[in-house]
Structure formats: structure tokens, C-alpha cells
Structure 1
Amino acid sequence: MTKIGILTFHKAHNYGAVLQAYALRKYLIQEGCDTNIVDYLSDVNRKSNLKCFFKRRNVISLSINFVFKFRRVLRRHKKFNYFIETYLSPKDTIKNSLNFRNLDYDIYCIGSDQVWNRKIIGRNETVYWGNINQSKKFKLTTYAASLGNEALNSEDINDVGVYLEKFDAISIREKEASVSVSNIINKQVAHVFDPTFLLDANSYEVIISKPIIKDDYILVYQIAVSNETIKLAESIANKLNSKVVYLDSDVNSLVPKKNTYDTVGPSEYLRLIKDAKCIITTSFHGTAFSIIYNRPFYLINIDSHNSRPKSLLQSLGLADRIIYNSDYVSYQNVDWEKVNDTLQKERQKSFEFLKRNLVG
């Protein structure tokens, strides 16, 4: 049985990060691979919500935040930790590239998520670029690695080019980035879908929470905050005679706002998306799970350079769901049968890459 070690952002308290890690591991296990998420303590994985909570606060600020926010922060923190320990089960704690020496994986799979975004991982990070010093011989691949909105410049190529040459197979989540990296290393680079799409909606039923909201609602999930999002949400809520519910990616306010959920874990996140009448989001994974659950949605265009969700929607013929101005919105229903057919074809490309390079 092939033994695979996944290197990703498995400890980030971020819905998309933990769910993509869950999906990739679950798919590979279903395909008969002995698959672990390697507990690599990169700078990204070392950061926790609790550490960030106490960081850079003066005594007065800390006291105010402790009184009003800490219980909610702790509740959210516990839910993420439970999900990570229960469903990701990371093993083999590693602090740097030299600690890999005594491990015995047949294949290391790096990704998904923004493991190649140097603004996130830092310029000194090399493990995510394949700098792994295991004594036993191994294959090196990526699955749906993302550079985020960043392109590799000449300085990046000087820093990491030598590592890229060592990969047996590379796949990237964004189409433009896959072409760019292919040109740099003069090797074929596959464009594949995010790991969350490796599983269908039914496959997430084992981790989804019980229903949370009884009434009809429009879900607003913002990473980058936009007035356009709120304006559109209120307009659609009036049309559908539904209330607006807000899902925050962190505990931001001192006092919980009305109809705002800021302490939910990954399982509740799935439920809130699945049961919504419509989702309005600025998030890649908010968009992804709207598609997986066939829920009407709109992606608010905050950053004109944000290629991640745009690449996904263009691939599925859903570019009309991108909103540049809330005064110009298409209220046409999504043809989910057509979208699901296209999605299945794109999934097949991802399955083929994994079977060719990991599953065997």
C-alpha cells in the first residue's frame, strides 16, 4: 500500500484550509492509499487564534477584548481543534526540513491551498517547495498548489527554481498560474480543481452539523468586507422575503451583532451554506461549497487581481455570478444540471492526475 504524506495548512483556523485538507486525505484513503497529514509546524501552522488574540495588545485593549471577546474566540478555537484532531488526525510532528530524515513516506503531496504564496508562507520557507530531507527515496508531487494572486518573479525563481526541478509531478489550482510555472520550469504542469471538489455533497454528510437556522435566510460570508455585499444581500433578501445572516471568518466585534455567526466551526460552516437560499461571498471556498451544494450564489469582486475564484467560475461557465456593481445583477437561475456536467468533467481531470501520480 502506497504511503502518502500531505503537507498543507492543516492547522490554520480557516474553513477552506481545513476542509480542503480533509477532502484530499479522505479521497486518497478511499482510493486505498495509507494517507497521513504530516504535522509540519510551519509558521502558518504554528499560528493559532489564541496566540493572535494575545499578541500586540496593551493592557487596556487586552482587558476589554478579554471581557467581551475571549469566550467566543475560545469557543471557535475549540471547534477548529476538535475538527483537526478528529477528521485530519495529523501525525509525525516536524519543525524543519531536516526532521523528515527518519520518516518513511513513498510520496509527499504538497497542497492544496496557498502553499506557494510567498506573502503567506514567508520568503525563507522551503519545505512547501519540496526541500524535504528524508533518507528513504520518495516521489514528490503537488496537488492544486496555489500561488494566490502572486506570480513568481525573477527573485522567486532564483530562490525556489532549484526545488521545482525536483518534483515528479506538479498540479496547480489556477489555470494562469499553471501555464506560468510550466513556462518557467519547462515541464508540463496540470491545472486541477481544489480538493474540496474531489468529494460530492453526500460525502460531506459525515462531518456536517445539524441544522442551525429554521427560517429562510440569505448568507453573507465575507473575507474582504464590502458595502456592495451588504447592499446586494439586502436587495436579494427583499426579493426572496428572507432575512440576512452573516458568517464572520473571525471574532471581530466586541459584542455579537444581530444575525451574525462568528463562533462556528467547519461542520457548522457547511451547514450554513447548504441550508441558505442564496450565498453572497467574497471567498473562494464560500464559492466552492455553494457550487458543491448547488446553492444560488454571487461572488462580489473586491480585488480585480483575485484570480482564484474567477478561474473556478470561468471553468464552470459561471462568470455571470461575479458581481462588479450591485446595481447590475443577473437574477437568472443557475442551470445546475449543466454546471454539474461540466464540474464532473473537470473532476475527472483531477482524478486522472491523482491516479497517475499518487494512487497508482
Structure 2
Amino acid sequence: MHQLGVLTFHQCINYGSFWQTRCLVDGLRAYGADPVILNHHSDRIRRAEWRCALQPLLPVGTKREDFPLYASKIRKFVEAFASLPLTPPFALDNPADLEDFDLVIVGSDEVWNLRHPWYGGYPLFYGEGLAARRLASYAATFGSYPASKGLESYWADSLRKFDDISVRDENSRSIIKDALGLEPTLVLDPCLQFPETIPRSQDDSCVSSYLAVYGHSFPYWFQQAVRRSAASHSVSVVSIGYRNDWADAQWIDAGPDDFARFIAGARAIATNFFHGCVFSLVNTKPFVCVLSDYRCHKIHDLAQMVRAERHVVSEETPQADYDALLGGAPDPVTADQLASLRLRSRTYLNNVLN
């Protein structure tokens, strides 16, 4: 019997998804544990994942010259996945071959998002089919599934089998509280809890020479405001992981390590992704973020948690605010809040592991 298993989305072609997995595994090792990742497999999901990775901007099609770059990005992720401590593969639809565990930790990532385009509604992430003496979650989230929808009894009954529950956002906390009648612990995403795992820039000569753009499908008014601010600070705009034609340069085929070092070396970050905000905070970088429909809950709640609400901008945000936000590091109150949340998260994990 394995002592500790981690169940998450460990093979997504997504920088944040990879790094939350890597950080959680390495963070658990710091507690003296020897975690392995439950290596679930589904041909249907892999095809969906790779289709999305090759055409991430739909309904806008991928340019012909970008297909080799997105394919190269996929290969770099596959190489990175091989570095993770994995169990033998098992079918996501039928986990009967999965080994027994003393404890399985479910999360982080959108493991409970019933609206996830390909993972949504898989009972395994709600603990069904797991051969474990104890179940716990760490920084799990319902993602884009709103608290206002409530949780059907089938899913709520599954979650009642968990011995300990923690979530990473207020939307998820509300869902658990309303459905189960208990108060889950609000904890930090693994990247914020265990930032020492994440590599930093090794090229000091490039520091502060560019503004990093992470995400895609940004509104035009955001693009213009970011470009004006970059010009005022005399830095170029470089997009990583995705094509953004309004940037000065593209680095589409960056791997997970490339991404981490690139963000660490940036002068500032403009994003509409949750982990764009997370990596900005990890590196104490100036940043601005615009909400998107899919990511609005988790970004809004993260900003509130760490007292960084002013970094979330709207069409009404004046240009002077962009210039200030992209020209200076996050407020010291954010660092204080992160320190407090790290202590809470550490206490939760200590209780789960001991």
C-alpha cells in the first residue's frame, strides 16, 4: 500500500496546471512524505487536450505557421510530465486497477468543476472508486461552476466521504458550505504555498527588458492600455505560450521551465489567467489582470484573498492606474496576507498528514 497519492489534472498542456502539480508534490516531500501522482488515462481527454493546445484561440483559428510551435510546446510538456512521480497508468473511467493508498489528496486545480469542457463530471475526482483509507482535498476548486447553481446530492454525498476539505477560492468555499453544511479551510494554490520549487530567471541581463503577456483573447481596450503603459516604461511586450498579435514578440513554444523563468525575468505581467496572477505574486512582480467569463470566480477570489483587488482592471480603469500598477510591485499588505495564508495552509497540511 502506498502511503500518499495525489489526484489532480497532471497532464494538461497548461503552465499553471503543471506547476501546481509539481509544487504540491515537492511541498509534500518537505513534510517527509513520499507522494505519487495517480496516473489516470483517457484517450478521449488526451485528444481533447491536444486539440485545444493546437487551437487555443478558437473560434479564431490557428495560423499555419503557428501549428509547429504549438506542437513543440506539447512535446515539451510531455517531457516535463515524465519527470513527475507517477503510478502505473489506469483508465480514468475504470480505476479498478489502481493501488490502495493510506491517504489520497485530491487537488489542486479545477478537480470539482462540473463545467470543465472534458474533465467535468468524472466521479473519480469526487473520491468515487479510490481505494484509500483517508481522503482529503488541498486547494481544490469548482472553477467556473458558480455557487448560485448549488450542488446536486450525488456530488455532495461523494464529498461527504472526505475526511478533510480545503479549497482555494470563496466560490468553492460557498459551494461546500451550502451543500455539506461545513466550513472548508481556505488555503493557497500550491504555487503560492511552495514557491521554492519554481525556477527563477538565470539571465540577469534580460531582467526588466520586457512586459510579459500571458493568456489570450484579451479585450481591445486592455491591449491598448497595456501597450501604452509598456511604451511609457520603455519595455517591449512579449507574449508567452499563445499568440497575441498585439504584442511585439511571440514565444509560443515555451516549456514549463521556460515559462517560470520568463515570468521571473519580466519587468511586469499582463494576464487574464489565474496562474498569471499567481506567478506575478510568486515573483513579487507588477501586474494587471482582466477578468474573463471562464476564470472570473477564481481570479476575483484570489485578488480578494491576498488584498490585490486593485490589480484587476476594467474598461473604466484610467491609464494612470495601469502605469502605476505596471510600474511598481504589489502592495506590502499583499505580502503580509500571503504570509498569513501560508501559515493557515501549512497548519491544514500538518493536520492532514499527521
TM-score exceeds 0.5: yes
The counterpart of 2:333, out of the listed 338, 342, 345, is: 338
Query: How far does the alpha carbon of each residue in 1:172-195 deviate from its partner, in whole angstroms, 9 at most, with x for none?
Result: 111232133122112231111111
Query: 1:58 maps to what in 2?
Result: none
CA contact (8 A) 1:13 1:48 kept: no
Q: Note the C-alpha offset of 1:73.
A: 2.5
Question: Partners of 1:73 and 1:335 in 2: how far apart?
Answer: 32
User: In structure 2, do the counterparts of structure 1 residues 76 and 179 end up closer, same or farther at CA, with 3 Å as the change threshold?
Assistant: same
The counterpart of 1:275, out of the listed 265, 278, 281, is: 265
Query: 2:181 maps to what in 1?
Result: 186
Question: Partners of 1:312 and 1:53 in 2: how far apart?
Answer: 25
Q: Note the C-alpha offset of 1:111.
A: 0.8
Query: How far does the alpha carbon of each residue in 1:93-124 deviate from its partner, in whole angstroms, 9 at most, with x for none?
Result: 12146534551211111111111111115554
The counterpart of 2:303, out of the listed 313, 331, 346, is: 313
Question: Partners of 2:313 and 2:244 in 1: how far apart?
Answer: 25
The two structures have a TM-score, normalised by structure 1, of: 0.85
Please provide the CA RMSD for this pair: 3.0
Question: Partners of 1:116 and 1:180 in 2: how far apart?
Answer: 11
Superposition pairs for residues 226-245 of structure 1, below 5 Å?
226-245=219-238
Deviates more, 1:37-46 or 1:284-293: 37-46
Q: How many residues align?
A: 342
User: In structure 2, do the counterparts of structure 1 residues 189 and 240 end up closer, same or farther at CA, with 3 Å as the change threshold?
Assistant: same
SS of residue matched to 1:5? strand
CA contact (8 A) 1:149 1:305 kept: yes
Deviates more, 1:149-158 or 1:182-191: 149-158
Letter in 1 for 2:184: V
Letter in 1 for 2:135: L
Query: 1:204 maps to what in 2?
Result: 198
Q: Which blocks of at least 5 consecutive residues in structure 1 are unaligned?
A: 56-60
Question: Partners of 1:140 and 1:274 in 2: how far apart?
Answer: 35
Question: Partners of 2:150 and 2:303 in 1: how far apart?
Answer: 31
SS of residue matched to 1:166? coil
CA contact (8 A) 1:49 1:73 kept: no
Letter in 2 for 1:204: I
Identity %: 23
CA contact (8 A) 1:50 1:73 kept: no
Query: 1:21 maps to what in 2?
Result: 21
User: In structure 2, do the counterparts of structure 1 residues 252 and 304 end up closer, same or farther at CA, with 3 Å as the change threshold?
Assistant: closer
Query: 2:78 maps to what in 1?
Result: 81
Deviates more, 1:117-126 or 1:95-104: 95-104
User: In structure 2, do the counterparts of structure 1 residues 70 and 176 end up closer, same or farther at CA, with 3 Å as the change threshold?
Assistant: closer
CA contact (8 A) 1:112 1:145 kept: yes
Question: Partners of 1:44 and 1:118 in 2: how far apart?
Answer: 17
Q: Note the C-alpha offset of 1:147.
A: 0.7
User: In structure 2, do the counterparts of structure 1 residues 154 and 227 end up closer, same or farther at CA, with 3 Å as the change threshold?
Assistant: closer
Deviates more, 1:2-11 or 1:110-119: 2-11
Query: 2:128 maps to what in 1?
Result: 131
Letter in 1 for 2:3: K
Question: Partners of 1:192 and 1:8 in 2: how far apart?
Answer: 16
SS of residue matched to 2:110? coil
SS of residue matched to 1:13? coil
User: In structure 2, do the counterparts of structure 1 residues 53 and 191 end up closer, same or farther at CA, with 3 Å as the change threshold?
Assistant: closer
Superposition pairs for residues 144-223 of structure 1, below 5 Å?
144-151=139-146, 156-200=151-195, 202-205=196-199, 210-211=202-203, 214=206, 216-223=209-216
SS of residue matched to 1:144? coil
Question: Partners of 1:89 and 1:133 in 2: how far apart?
Answer: 18
Question: Partners of 1:147 and 1:217 in 2: how far apart?
Answer: 34
Question: Partners of 1:221 and 1:114 in 2: how far apart?
Answer: 19
The counterpart of 1:114, out of the listed 106, 110, 127, is: 110
SS of residue matched to 1:18? helix
Query: How far does the alpha carbon of each residue in 1:145-199 deviate from its partner, in whole angstroms, 9 at most, with x for none?
Result: 1111213577841331221111111111112321331221122311111111121
Deviates more, 1:319-328 or 1:345-354: 319-328
Question: Partners of 1:139 and 1:79 in 2: how far apart?
Answer: 35
SS of residue matched to 1:131? coil
Query: 1:296 maps to what in 2?
Result: 286
Letter in 2 for 1:219: A
User: Where do 4+ consecutive residues of structure 1 move more than 6 Å?
Assistant: none
1:93 equivalent in alignment to 2:84: no
Query: 2:34 maps to what in 1?
Result: 34
Question: Partners of 2:292 and 2:147 in 1: how far apart?
Answer: 23
1:5 equivalent in alignment to 2:5: yes
CA contact (8 A) 2:285 2:330 kept: no
The two structures have a TM-score, normalised by structure 2, of: 0.86
Question: Partners of 1:231 and 1:30 in 2: how far apart?
Answer: 44
